[in-house]
A and B are shown apart, each in its own frame.
Chain A
């Protein structure tokens, strides 16, 4: 045993820092004569597994209740109360994790990486709201999602967003979904979780930039209804398309529409479409030609999208640890720096062959090139789909809720004169009607 203070710097010189990495039993543990016994290292258990089933149960109950409140009870107050509960439970109590939006990445990773098995809770959180969307529409958005809840409560002075701007900004969500899936499938990062704007509020702690992002979004949501849900939410994209097949959907009024336009004014999400104007001409030859032309253009959109995205494949691939490390090491070797980064130093200390690392990085990059082509093709298809959707001729005789965009918040109910009349008159009127399928 060394007793002298001065010995320590010498000791440092002697042993050197190079032995980081493996444990060396330099000093044999003592044989105690005083009967001392080694204390045991404590291992506090993580959150009990049974509580995860509680989360699943709460999710199911909340989704059922949201469906009931939006479709049968038709109560904005009820939905609002459920929203507060979800914000408290899934938001502040569960601190934003587990969440359906982030679960996209776990499911993706599980599909592409056989060694990763998705936890039961996460799978349920991913699939259950989609299943509900097939029957009741986006009731998850209405009262269950804590991210939606926190924004919904901020909305005090809704500003009308121009109708042409909504689908354009909505493309961002597809981009976000595609990129998130690309990064999750390649095992690079879970960006939806990293850039979750509101989780810092739920945890009352977190990265400064994310706090700024969250505050900005909350300020925007004072005027624009749920900006994250409308323009960014990747899970919203999935719910949007599953809701196309919904069996039942929210209606403004179960009775005849008076075409008073009040509901359209009331909807902060632009989800209520006005009736077709009286003087609107029927589609002519030119309109039909444009539609056919756009449909024929779809493969070109896909190809161009894929090509453009493949240009970014190299930048994307740097999100992967191995690629970053390989590039760093190659750069350090080429420019003969004498100070390595921590990651590079760790790799060098392990003494693994660099060629194997470069090989793996190339392999990852190849996967990114393929992934970027698919991502770009997907985005091209989405843009083409939006254009085709805009060129389609639809006839609406009344103000109708567009189920795929409707977040089932229930704001429009109390604006409809027919609904007010119905509420006064009787409680037994039929409230849910089979979706007529004219969307």
Chain B
């Protein structure tokens, strides 16, 4: 009886000791990790310089309707009458007929500003983030259309499914206080 009692105590002592070591370990590890981080949170964003508008954003997002949408930096836009991001490469006519549009959902709104300039705005409720307009705008226009993760929609997965599928490593974690990588507005006009 005495021996078993002693064993009991020794075991308890060891257990308590190990537990305290573990608590110190947890405290130390979290302290080290905390000391390093200034950012409170990360979120995902697309680097428009790396994006090749492959179309994965439209299909790989865990959301039924992708959190990635096209955005427009107006100050970069050429306000072209013949917008290569708006019109199909071989349109029947240069009007807003659906068959003439590049966008599969007709999410780009074309508004007349003054001759010969037209404003192009993305209707985000229609945009699916396929990047067709981005590709053509970048190839033949000013590249003012580009894809961004819209944070009113993004659920901020720990591992973004699009990031895993991105062929050009354009997805990156950015601090939540600067959640967008918008293209510059460095034009002289």
| Contact residues of B between 1 and 27, Cβ < 8 Å to A | 8, 11-12, 15-16, 18-19, 22-23, 26
Known: A12-B140, A24-B142, A95-B155. A205 touches B36 (CB 8 A): no
Contact B40 A27 (CB under 8 A): no
Point out the residue from B33, B42, B49, B167 that lies within 8 Å of A123, measured CB to CB: B33
Known: A20-B52, A30-B117, A342-B52. A206 touches B62 (CB 8 A): yes
Contact A46 B52 (CB under 8 A): no
A299 CB to closest chain B CB (Å) equals 23
Known: A12-B89, A52-B41, A342-B168. A98 touches B158 (CB 8 A): yes
Point out the residue from A3, A5, A95 that lies within 8 Å of B93, measured CB to CB: A5
Contact B39 A119 (CB under 8 A): yes
Known: A17-B139, A130-B26. A27 touches B180 (CB 8 A): no
Give the docked Cα–Cα distance between A106 and B113 (Å): 49
Task: Write the chain A residue with the least CB distance to B83.
Answer: A27
Contact B81 A20 (CB under 8 A): no
Contact A38 B74 (CB under 8 A): yes
Give the docked Cα–Cα distance between A281 and B62 (Å): 58
| Contact residues of B between 137 and 182, Cβ < 8 Å to A | 138-143, 150-152, 154-159, 161, 164, 167-169, 173, 176, 179-180, 182
The secondary-structure label for the interface of chain A is loop
Residue A64 is within 8 A (CB to CB) of chain B in the complex: no
Point out the residue from B41, B82, B135 that lies within 8 Å of A49, measured CB to CB: B41
Give the docked Cα–Cα distance between A121 and B41 (Å): 8
Give the docked Cα–Cα distance between A205 and B66 (Å): 11
Q: What chain B residues lie within 8 Å of A122 (beta carbons)? A: 158
Give the docked Cα–Cα distance between A415 and B139 (Å): 71
| Contact residues of B between 40 and 83, Cβ < 8 Å to A | 40-43, 49-50, 52, 54, 62-64, 71-82
Contact B189 A193 (CB under 8 A): no
Point out the residue from B50, B80, B179, B182 that lies within 8 Å of A45, measured CB to CB: B179
Point out the residue from A28, A45, A121, A247 that lies within 8 Å of B19, measured CB to CB: A247
Point out the residue from B50, B113, B173, B182 that lies within 8 Å of A41, measured CB to CB: B182
Contact A23 B183 (CB under 8 A): yes
Q: What chain B residues lie within 8 Å of A245 (beta carbons)? A: 15, 18-19, 22
Give the docked Cα–Cα distance between A8 and B139 (Å): 12
Contact A31 B189 (CB under 8 A): yes
Point out the residue from A24, A127, A189 that lies within 8 Å of B26, measured CB to CB: A127
Residue B94 is within 8 A (CB to CB) of chain A in the complex: yes
Residue B30 is within 8 A (CB to CB) of chain A in the complex: yes
Contact A118 B22 (CB under 8 A): no
Residue B125 is within 8 A (CB to CB) of chain A in the complex: no
Point out the residue from B8, B72, B156, B182 that lies within 8 Å of A437, measured CB to CB: B8
Give the docked Cα–Cα distance between A29 and B141 (Å): 11
Residue B104 is within 8 A (CB to CB) of chain A in the complex: no
Contact B158 A205 (CB under 8 A): no
Q: What chain B residues lie within 8 Å of A110 (beta carbons)? A: 33, 36-37
Q: What chain B residues lie within 8 Å of A23 (beta carbons)? A: 49, 76, 138, 142-143, 183
Residue B98 is within 8 A (CB to CB) of chain A in the complex: no
Residue A289 is within 8 A (CB to CB) of chain B in the complex: no
Known: A118-B33, A127-B30, A437-B15. A29 touches B79 (CB 8 A): yes
Contact B78 A119 (CB under 8 A): no
Question: What number of B residues sit within 8 Å (CB to CB) of A?
Answer: 84
Contact B18 A46 (CB under 8 A): no
- The count of A-to-B residue pairs whose CB atoms sit within 8 angstroms is 220
Known: A22-B49, A127-B30, A189-B164. A118 touches B11 (CB 8 A): no
Contact A205 B182 (CB under 8 A): no
Give the docked Cα–Cα distance between A9 and B88 (Å): 11
Q: What chain A residues lie within 8 Å of B34 (beta carbons)? A: 120, 123
Contact A190 B187 (CB under 8 A): no
Residue A44 is within 8 A (CB to CB) of chain B in the complex: yes
Contact B30 A38 (CB under 8 A): no
B7 CB to closest chain A CB (Å) equals 9
Known: A36-B114, A41-B74, A245-B15. A29 touches B189 (CB 8 A): yes
Give the docked Cα–Cα distance between A47 and B149 (Å): 13
Contact B52 A114 (CB under 8 A): no
Residue A2 is within 8 A (CB to CB) of chain B in the complex: yes
Task: Write the chain A residue with the least CB distance to B189.
Answer: A29
Contact A32 B113 (CB under 8 A): yes
Q: What chain A residues lie within 8 Å of B183 (beta carbons)? A: 23
Other than the known A9-B89, A118-B36, what 10 A-B pairs have Cβ atoms closer than 8 Å? Answer: A3-B82, A20-B139, A29-B78, A34-B113, A46-B41, A97-B157, A193-B157, A346-B167, A437-B12, A438-B8
Those 7 A-B pairs whose CB atoms lie nearest each other, nearest first = A27-B78, A117-B37, A190-B159, A44-B152, A29-B189, A46-B151, A343-B167
Could you write out 27 A-B pairs with CB less than 8 Å apart?
A: A5-B90, A5-B93, A8-B87, A8-B89, A19-B139, A20-B135, A23-B49, A27-B80, A30-B78, A32-B113, A41-B71, A49-B40, A97-B158, A105-B158, A105-B159, A106-B158, A110-B33, A118-B37, A119-B42, A120-B37, A189-B164, A245-B15, A345-B52, A346-B50, A346-B52, A437-B15, A438-B8
